[in-house]
Structure 1
Amino acid sequence: MKFTDGFWLMRDGVHASYATEVRDVRATAETLTAYAAVKRVERRGDTLNSPLITVELFSPAEGVIGVRATHHAGKRDNGPHFALPGATEGAGKVAGDGTVMTLTSGPLTARLDTSAPWNLTFENADGEVLTAAERKGIAFATTPDGGHHMIGQLALGVGEQIYGLGERFTPFVKNGQSVDIWQADGGTSSEQAYKNIPFHLSSRGYGVFVDHPGKVSYEIGSEAVGQVQFSVEDQSLAYYVVAGPTPKDVLDRYTSLTGRPALPPAWSFGLWLTTSFTTSYDEETVMSFVDGMAERDIPLSVFHFDCFWMREYQWSDFTWDNDVFPDPAGMLCRLKGKGLKVSVWINPYIAQKSHLFDEGRELGYLVRRPDGDIWQWDLWQAGMALVDFTNPDAYAWFQAKLKVLLDQGVDCFKTDFGERIPTEVVWHDGSDPERMHNYYTHLYNQCVFELLEAERGEGEAVLFARSATAGGQQFPVHWGGDCWSSFGAMAESLRGGLSLSLSGFGFWSHDIGGFEGTPDPDVFKRWLAFGLLSSHSRLHGSSSYRVPWEFGDEAVDVARKFTKLKHRLMPYLYDAAARAHTTGIPLMRPMLLEFPEDPTARALDRQYMLGPDLLVAPVFSSSGDVEFYLPEGTWTRLLTGERVQGGRWLRERHGFDSLPLYVREGAVLALGADEGRPDGDWLDGLTLFAAHGAPGERTVSVPDRTGAPAATYRVVRSDDGSVRLAGPDEGVRLVVAGEAAI
């Protein structure tokens, strides 16, 4: 939200009060509290009829400093609040030197000079200023509509770039944008987002998390061009500055505070195929798809039933449409017999025609309006109501309905929707409706994920979720929502996924071929290669099928090739997935995560690193022409072993069975032998592919299904160019780039 009219004036009817000077400081060993006047106080009379802003500095975790600015502290706090599972006590230390007070936590120091005009700086371990809340850095403003907004501003350095704020499909670098953290079902072609995360990451090696689950309005170098501004309509605003020095360090600390991504099961990394949304399908259709994939030698891991597995007008009642699927338990058993896992679509809405509506109404499990009526509308489902997950009994009730499906043989759920949450309602626990709008998705996905962990066991739970807020990374996987079937939408989807990955989310997917419309075969084939070199891979559409043979024989060949390649890459990918689980570093990584010192890498949004060592540049054209950037070093084409010098842009032309796929200098990729499934025995027939590199030693781990190392190998490059295994090598094939095929 913008409050000013240019640099000098305020907008009509807006009055702003800025922290101007410190009038008092109270300190403990671990916290600082400053009382800031909103004008210069030159005489006693200046203290009358004028507010103070209370500014608290504290540290909830090593390398994280919190700032809480409050105007009136008497406002009732009904929640909800973001959970901070990594918060600890005693992480910060306060010190004073004359008029300067500091709070230090790990490599980060907040410095406040109480004698000067307001200036709160944040410095790294070398004493360099990362950012600062300067003369307009902390404020409150009143607006003509009676609103009261708390405002924070943090300075942008020259050339500093800002990323994150959730899965945003607008430009990857957020400088110059206005962003509202407000859940919306807006597709992938607008400024709206399904996954709104009030966390941004800076190219200068720090991050900022605004601890407010409601609407947070950002102006990123857009209102004040040298500032990142964030505001909330409230009496208090809290945010955390998260130290680096590298972007990876920032994500490590941020996800340690807000929750690490769970490790998805290995089988979930294989190819998912769905019925699509509004297409006509029954068991015969489903089995024709499954058998068709097998006949064409395209390995399939998961089959997903979208909305119409349930009866029309009755979503979600979790009851199979018996006219279409007369024997659901038998069908699930038959699918399991073909080695498949099964997913079904759900959402948190209850249609009036469903028997669960009457049940939920009688039990008091549906969200109500202030007058006591159940909140309903006809958008999406006729007479649709909403499950109140703030009610523990409703939470358990919802889980009990899903458990019936798990007992039938369902393995996981696509948790769709969760964005269109009304604010003119009353929640069971008294939560603030404005704050619950964004937070609802967290309770929804947590409810389903916890059931899966309880029933299937830790390490076997996985969702396909569309909406999320801060902390939602704990319940993977998330997919990119409703995109068009075009090259432009393919690029939008990647941009959104990379933005989400810089917001703490370790795993992400998208609809291969696009959701809306029917893709041109060229789009579908290019999207196949991209999709099968993503964290998770799903064929899904809206009104048309996405089985590869619908798009020609060449599409079948492309699907087969890249599915099998992904399976071979699983030892490498699952090791990177395990690191996402323990460190928060995503599997699909924007280039700046791996190359933060390379200025060119900081703006790249049409390529990414898959894990630490594999560069992927999807092709967004029918011709196969693709332009991409290789950072400094000697890179190896994975599919040919060819050596290519980096530190430059390249332009290549690729057939549909290829794309730029490069291995980083000195890397050794662990490749499995089993092309048929993602969760085979990775040590059986293991290949270590050694890319070109300088003399030295590289350690390679192959994980087990928990993500822990099952085996570790040492590969040594000698000065004479030879490469050898050091230590046990039984059953391991060493392939040196350029000497043999992978």
Structure 2
Amino acid sequence: MRNFICLAVLASCFNVIAFNAYSQTMQLAAGVQKVTSGTIDKFTPYSFCSEQPMSAALSELPAGKLPFSVDDIKIKINDRGVVVEVPLDDTEQLYGFGMQIGSFNQRGLKKRPIVNDNPLNDLGYTHGPTTFYVSSKGYGILINTSRYATFYCGNTSKLNKSKNDGKESNGGNSVEELYKSDNKASGSVTVDILGAKGIEVFVFDGPDLKTAVQRYNLFSGGGALPAIWGLGVKYRVKADFNQYQVDKMAAYFRDNHIPCDVLGLEPRWQTASYSCSYVWNKSFFPTPNEFIDSMKNKGFHINLWEHAFVSPKSPLYEPLKNKAGNYLVWNGLVPDFADTSASNLFADYHKQTFVQPGISGFKMDECDNSNIAFGSGAWSFPELSQFPSGIDGEQMHQLFGLLYQKTIYSIYKKLNQRTYLDVRASNTFASSYPAALYSDTYLHDEYIRMILNSGFAGMIWSPEVRESNSIKDFMRRSQTAVLSAQTLYNSWYLQNPPWLQINREKNNKGELMDNAKEVEGDIRKLLNFRMSLIPYLYNAFADYHFKGIPPFRALVMDYPQDKNTFNLSDEYMIGNDILAAPLTEKMDERQVYLPEGVWYDYNTNQKYEGGKSYTIKPSLTQLPIFIKAGTILPLAKPVEFVAPNTKFEITCYVYGNGNKASLFEDDGLTFNYENGTYNTVNLVWNKNKGEVKRTGKFKSSRYIIKNWQVIN
């Protein structure tokens, strides 16, 4: 008996040692390593990443050095699952875990990045969860799993039998102090992955936070570069509009000279929508192909709403019946997008029926699971679902939005035709997909925070505008939309544009506001600025693709040594030179912190010294932005839409000294840039003179530099 106990103890010791001994570290690319232990799940986010790492761009980044050894990452496998421990010191700040809604700096929090539309007390539920986080010490960690994982972000203290740290309370603390997170706890970020039998941990070097994010995006295949028209204005019409009503709305935009590039059709365009038939409703759209051509001739791209649950009325139902999960949603099939043949069937039908006749994009809805905050939220498939490929319901929920957008995006990629999609859910390694996330939540301050968090996630966020509490609320929301990755007005339940009547009931009765034309004029000013900004934004997205730099990002990414940026969640960089500080309805003024350097108020041209906070009072038609000294800001003459042959007439605004900038120039429509068919337009202000130098293989030009204006 004694010998048996000794052998059991030795076996237990051997298991712990074996887990450490059999962990393997592999260099995947410059500054990217992978630590592997145990038996890896078949269905992980990286297993579906079809884009190759941009190896040359990764090699050009400065070399980084981790603040710890990769060997110090501990992986333990037991009957429960896998536990990963990543070293963490007292001073590190943590960011990431996807499109977090309620939190920004994640240090000291417990996060469960699970796909859902309810933030639920900042626990981590979100439309775009990722198991990727970055540290202010200049590195990123990605746990490659599609299981529900829990991250303890430096808020746990393990028992150390060899010492007593004497930190227990004497009972004199307040209740709040006793129960709040110990965000000074050091030692590790601890990750709990239930049910896993092994894990891959990807490690992205810095040397700083921004470079670590660049490495992640470049390793994912580079950031998305949407079609240039997608950076204009998108307007979604009322859900029950017919062909005549959509045409009438299109005429309204053109007749009133309000910029608009994309019109989105909501559910009624189909014969069935919950679940979806993917068949034109001829009662509402009797001649869909003629309608698409007519809209194209007027400069509009058409975007179709749908979701992926396949109705029995759909031509896809029978072909997909044996390639779907064993539970229905709204009596529709759940395609097994983890199976290539199922994805191909779905994609081929969409290609022939919609894309080839001219549909420019899709809004991919309802792929984010039922609301797990409520017992009544049970419309989607359960976690216990099984799929023919072998993936289970939990993993499919986490990956469904990612695989859905991959399926649709593949259509356009194969046709050498760029797009800009909308999607309700995403996940890890989504950087290369031009799909903007959106949400049914509608708190403005959360929408602003999600712009910042998108930069840590390799995702694109759209703070869409619907109805509002007041004209002030509507205008502040519109300012934020103009200063985001996609300017979108979603009027799916409004008969008229919201700027003509913000009250939903009156809007649908056709009762417009007395000052509707005045508000319309104010909106025109904001949207014209958006159209002026397109060349600058397009260059920022090119930097996203080729260099991995998020076009919209938190200040801490550019100024990681400035402690004032650690928790600053309502200001962000747009490209390299614009700092945005949006206001909400409750604000007539706000405090703005400007990092080191010299900054110019865009509206007044007043200069500000960095490293300080200031009070600003922008009006409802002024954009709350600051321009960094040394910038050449290229602003175009506004156009009402971006046509294939649009040439932007640009005025270069010169702020301060030592100025230079560049613009990315190509056809804006195809993937020919991947073969080097593009130009770099270098702008330099030198000795009181502007210089333009164009280099590259693109034989035409999109930008005409008309004027230079110096801002002293």
Q: TM-score, normalised by structure 1?
A: 0.78
Q: Does 1:387 align with 2:335?
A: yes
CA contact (8 A) 2:401 2:423 kept: no
Tell me which residue corresponds to 1:549: 500
The partner residue of 1:411 within 360, 369, 374 is 360
Instruction: Give 1:178-193 correspondences, 5 Å limit.
Output: 178-186=110-118, 191-193=124-126
The partner residue of 1:710 within 666, 674, 679 is 679
SS of structure 1 residue aligned to 2:543 = helix
The partner residue of 1:724 within 680, 689, 692 is 689
RMSD over aligned Cα atoms: 3.0
Instruction: Give 1:616-695 correspondences, 5 Å limit.
Output: 616-678=580-642, 685-693=649-657
The partner residue of 2:450 within 477, 496, 511 is 496
AA aligned opposite 1:386: V
Tell me which residue corresponds to 1:64: 32
Q: Structure 1 residues 276 and 188 mapped into 2: Cα distance closer, same or farther (>3 Å)?
A: farther
How far 1:400 moved relative to its partner?
2.6
Q: Structure 1 residues 687 and 150 mapped into 2: Cα distance closer, same or farther (>3 Å)?
A: same
How far 1:480 moved relative to its partner?
2.7
Instruction: Give 1:363-374 correspondences, 5 Å limit.
Output: 364-368=322-326
CA contact (8 A) 1:620 1:626 kept: no
SS of structure 1 residue aligned to 2:133 = strand
Q: Does 1:399 align with 2:347?
A: yes
Cα distance in 1 for partners of 2:518, 2:607 equals 28
Tell me which residue corresponds to 1:19: none
Tell me which residue corresponds to 2:710: 736
Instruction: Give 1:568-583 correspondences, 5 Å limit.
Output: 568-583=532-547
Tell me which residue corresponds to 2:482: 532
Q: Does 1:508 align with 2:508?
A: no
SS of structure 2 residue aligned to 1:512 = coil
AA aligned opposite 1:504: G
AA aligned opposite 1:463: L
The partner residue of 1:229 within 171, 190, 215 is 190
Tell me which residue corresponds to 2:146: 213
SS of structure 2 residue aligned to 1:414 = strand
SS of structure 2 residue aligned to 1:428 = coil
How far 1:59 moved relative to its partner?
1.7
How far 1:442 moved relative to its partner?
2.4
The partner residue of 2:436 within 450, 454, 478 is 478
How far 1:444 moved relative to its partner?
1.5
Instruction: Give 1:72-87 correspondences, 5 Å limit.
Output: 73=39, 77-80=41-44, 82-83=46-47, 85-86=51-52
- Per-residue CA deviations over 1:184-240 (Å, capped at 9, x if unaligned) read 243798642111111001111111011112222111123343231112121212212
How far 1:432 moved relative to its partner?
4.6
How far 1:88 moved relative to its partner?
10
- Per-residue CA deviations over 1:233-269 (Å, capped at 9, x if unaligned) read 2121221221101222112211222222231110000
Instruction: Give 1:25-104 correspondences, 5 Å limit.
Output: 47-50=10-13, 51-52=15-16, 53=19, 54-70=22-38, 73=39, 77-80=41-44, 82-83=46-47, 85-86=51-52
CA contact (8 A) 1:242 1:250 kept: yes
CA contact (8 A) 1:347 1:417 kept: yes
- Per-residue CA deviations over 1:500-528 (Å, capped at 9, x if unaligned) read 221223x3322124xxx654322111111
Q: Does 1:467 align with 2:425?
A: yes
- Per-residue CA deviations over 1:597-636 (Å, capped at 9, x if unaligned) read 2221222111111111011111113552222211122212
CA contact (8 A) 1:511 1:541 kept: no
Cα distance in 2 for partners of 1:406, 1:86 equals 25
Tell me which residue corresponds to 1:139: 76
CA contact (8 A) 1:316 1:350 kept: yes
Q: Structure 1 residues 715 and 260 mapped into 2: Cα distance closer, same or farther (>3 Å)?
A: closer
Specify which structure has the higher proportion of helix.
2
SS of structure 2 residue aligned to 1:686 = strand
The partner residue of 2:400 within 413, 416, 440 is 440
SS of structure 1 residue aligned to 2:478 = helix
SS of structure 2 residue aligned to 1:732 = strand
Cα distance in 1 for partners of 2:561, 2:643 equals 36
CA contact (8 A) 2:45 2:428 kept: no
The partner residue of 1:176 within 96, 108, 126 is 108
Tell me which residue corresponds to 2:287: 327
How far 1:413 moved relative to its partner?
0.8
Q: Does 1:299 align with 2:259?
A: yes
CA contact (8 A) 1:79 1:432 kept: no
Tell me which residue corresponds to 1:97: none
The partner residue of 1:246 within 195, 208, 213 is 208
CA contact (8 A) 1:673 1:682 kept: no
Q: Does 1:257 align with 2:219?
A: yes
Q: TM-score, normalised by structure 2?
A: 0.81
- The unaligned stretches of length 5 or more in structure 2 are 1-5, 56-60, 158-184, 370-380, 503-515, 695-703
Higher RCO (CA 8 Å, separation ≥ 6 residues):
2
Cα distance in 2 for partners of 1:613, 1:203 equals 22
Q: Structure 1 residues 177 and 522 mapped into 2: Cα distance closer, same or farther (>3 Å)?
A: same
CA contact (8 A) 1:188 1:482 kept: no
Cα distance in 2 for partners of 1:257, 1:161 equals 23
The partner residue of 2:228 within 232, 245, 266 is 266
Q: Structure 1 residues 282 and 56 mapped into 2: Cα distance closer, same or farther (>3 Å)?
A: same
SS of structure 1 residue aligned to 2:649 = coil
CA contact (8 A) 1:687 1:734 kept: yes
CA contact (8 A) 1:273 1:547 kept: no
CA contact (8 A) 1:452 1:462 kept: no
Tell me which residue corresponds to 2:86: 154
Q: Does 1:700 align with 2:662?
A: yes
The partner residue of 1:290 within 232, 246, 250 is 250
How far 1:151 moved relative to its partner?
0.9
How far 1:77 moved relative to its partner?
4.6
Q: Does 1:204 align with 2:137?
A: yes
SS of structure 2 residue aligned to 1:152 = strand
Q: Structure 1 residues 288 and 56 mapped into 2: Cα distance closer, same or farther (>3 Å)?
A: same
Cα distance in 2 for partners of 1:481, 1:282 equals 25
Equivalent pairs counted in the alignment come to 624
Cα distance in 1 for partners of 2:192, 2:430 equals 22
Q: Structure 1 residues 195 and 346 mapped into 2: Cα distance closer, same or farther (>3 Å)?
A: same
CA contact (8 A) 1:318 1:401 kept: no
How far 1:491 moved relative to its partner?
1.3
SS of structure 2 residue aligned to 1:548 = coil
How far 1:678 moved relative to its partner?
4.3
**Identity fraction in percent:** 20
SS of structure 2 residue aligned to 1:671 = strand
- Per-residue CA deviations over 1:22-48 (Å, capped at 9, x if unaligned) read xxxxxxxxxxxxxxxxxxxxx999634
Tell me which residue corresponds to 2:58: none
CA contact (8 A) 2:235 2:491 kept: no
AA aligned opposite 1:60: L
AA aligned opposite 1:376: L
- The unaligned stretches of length 5 or more in structure 1 are 1-42, 90-104, 109-122, 143-147, 369-374
- Per-residue CA deviations over 1:654-690 (Å, capped at 9, x if unaligned) read 2210132111111111222243334677765321111
CA contact (8 A) 2:102 2:119 kept: no
Tell me which residue corresponds to 1:310: 270
Cα distance in 2 for partners of 1:261, 1:689 equals 28
Specify which structure has the higher proportion of strand.
1
Cα distance in 2 for partners of 1:262, 1:333 equals 27
Q: Structure 1 residues 524 and 335 mapped into 2: Cα distance closer, same or farther (>3 Å)?
A: same
CA contact (8 A) 1:690 1:737 kept: yes
Tell me which residue corresponds to 1:425: 385
How far 1:467 moved relative to its partner?
0.9
SS of structure 2 residue aligned to 1:259 = coil
Cα distance in 2 for partners of 1:56, 1:268 equals 43
Q: Structure 1 residues 391 and 610 mapped into 2: Cα distance closer, same or farther (>3 Å)?
A: same
Cα distance in 2 for partners of 1:198, 1:131 equals 18
The partner residue of 1:523 within 470, 473, 478 is 473
